[in-house]
Homo-oligomer: A and B are copies of this chain.
């Protein structure tokens, strides 16, 4: 049976009303332009929950640049076909007006967890993410919600929101899916031309080098960052926005890597901004 496609919060609630008694409802929140990374989230949900909901909503509140919002891909028919193939039960694809009938006056605010990395370079981004995710949670009322580890700071913030606001949902993190050369799958990868695509894996190479250095016993974050950043080729089309070593829960930068940490980076490749991260574990 193809997914039921609904467009308003009331329609979501009606579509799910008869299904809660069957067991867990799993939610996969997306901005569409679905790729194999999203498929991995959906498959995980499908394996765990009798009811799977995929939301497709390009959230204006989390875009700090109008051009990025305008050119964000929206291939709805292809997304729906993938959801159909993966056995999704309900696709929630609201228009912006259905989510924001008026500009919201009450929103979610993220403090220190959003202070560094993407939060420092995209003002308001994570407040917008947290606000829309809380709205989706309140509309769908899922038992489990699935998030990709590729957006590691987002995942940390959603977990913190669930804890700080007592949101009754379980957050399930799902590992990043990568191309053969290490490039993390992202809806933004399709903006890359052939030459940019060839340069893009440099970010993952740098982060992997950081991981190896930490595994090899380097404890000073400054040294690890320096060695990793050197792996980004000196090329006019590449600009490293940040490369940082942070605590996996607080996302505050570490000086000394004396526990498992996340190495995270953002790399501009031409006019496309890519992010990635890897877990770094010091030797025993």
Contact = CB atoms under 8 A, between A and B. Distances in A.
A141 B165 CA distance: 12
A130 interface: yes
Given A138-B165, A166-B135, A157 B106 contact: yes
Interface string A1-39: 000000001000100000000000000000000000000
A104 interface: yes
A161 B105 CA distance: 8
Interface centre among A107, A108, A166 (most CB of B within 10 A): A166
A106 B164 CA distance: 6
Nearest to A113: B105
Interface in A87-115: 104-113
A106 B107 CA distance: 11
B109 A164 contact: no
A219 interface: no
Interface size class of A (residues with CB under 8 A): 20 to 34
B139 A106 contact: no
A131 B130 CA distance: 14
B106 A161 contact: yes
B106 A108 contact: yes
Nearest to A130: B106
Contact of A105 (B106, B112, B166, B167): B112
Contacts of A157: 106
Contact of A9 (B104, B111, B164, B166): B166
A165 B134 contact: yes
22 contacts: A13-B168, A104-B164, A105-B112, A105-B164, A106-B109, A106-B110, A106-B113, A106-B130, A106-B157, A106-B160, A106-B161, A107-B108, A107-B109, A107-B111, A108-B108, A109-B109, A109-B127, A134-B165, A135-B165, A138-B165, A138-B166, A138-B168
Interface of A: 9, 13, 104-113, 127, 130-131, 134-135, 138-139, 141, 157, 160-161, 164-168
Listed from nearest, the 8 A-B pairs whose CB atoms lie closest are A109-B109, A104-B164, A138-B166, A106-B161, A105-B111, A106-B164, A135-B166, A139-B166
